[in-house]
A and B are shown apart, each in its own frame.
Chain A
Amino acid sequence: MSEDEIRKEQEVIERSKKDPNAFGEIYEQYFDRIYNYLYRQTDDEELAGDLCSQTFVNALNHLGKYEFRGFPFSAWLYKIAGNEVNKHYRKNKGKKVFSIEELKVKELVEQSDEGWDEELITQVINYMNELPTDMVQVLELRFFEDKDFKEIAFILDMTESGAKMRTYRALDKLRTQFNIKVKYNG
């Protein structure tokens, strides 16, 4: 997002603080992204839809408290959405779900020696099941939502170095355990 786009977005936010109708523009802009983020963490269309609506209602309710911190407004929405998901899992005492697109994993992982087969996919899934949840969350935001570490740190309430460390550790394990190259170097 360019600086000009962020400035324009801030103007809409300021307008929305006085007139909630103006927030419709932000809603249209970010609905799909927030919905998909929630869907990836629930694997349930209806639930993702409900949580998405609640995310935007909460954002509107607390818009007066929102302060620009150098990130696009979406970072704040992701943070609220994450809190909504956590609240849901706490309330229902269920296991957190990460629904990952196979294609995205294939984009991330390059084969080296062996062919990309079902066996390897199962192994990667098992490996990811063993990772700590916060590590998977960082990986998800970095690779499936294309967030930078600064934004990830803000969304997950951790330090930037903490977010980087979790990512590198997970990727290193992936590289060594499966003898595969991971495209990501940043």
Chain B
Amino acid sequence: MGKHEIRMRRQRLTTRGTDRFKNYGAVLKQHEEEKRMKKIVRVFTFFLLIVVVILLIVVVNKWEKKARVKKLPVTSYQLKVSARGEVNS
């Protein structure tokens, strides 16, 4: 047995039976709905992309700042003050 099934039909297909399925108004309505949904998804995706880009910029900036702080040379040195009030560097 193949992946399909052949059925023999005695009656011929006529156009009369198809009338109850014919409704261009419904097709048009569904098309408009799908078009609107597509638009919403597109706008949402666009904003999501913008948010991701902004987040990426923020993360990169923070990471750069951290890296910069780590690289800063030590400019201060410890001062040791003895009990007698002498300052030793």
Give chain A's interface residues, CB within 8 Å of chain B.
Answer: 20-21, 24, 27-28, 31-32, 35-36, 39-40, 43, 45, 48-49, 52-53, 56-57, 60-61, 95-103, 105, 121, 125, 128-133, 136
Contact = CB atoms under 8 A, between A and B. Distances in A.
A98 B30 contact: no
Contacts of A128: 6
Contacts of B38: 61
What bracket does the count of chain B residues touching chain A fall in? 20 to 34
Interface string B17-32: 1101111101110111
B3 A57 contact: no
Contacts of B23: 53
A1 to B, nearest CB: 19
B15 interface: yes
B7 A100 contact: yes
A99 B5 CA distance: 8
A95 B3 contact: yes
Contacts of A21: 28
Given A61-B38, A95-B4, A101-B9, 4 more contacts: A35-B18, A39-B13, A43-B9, A53-B26
A102 B20 CA distance: 25
A20 B28 contact: yes
Residue of B18, B30, B38 ringed by the most chain A CB atoms within 10 A: B18
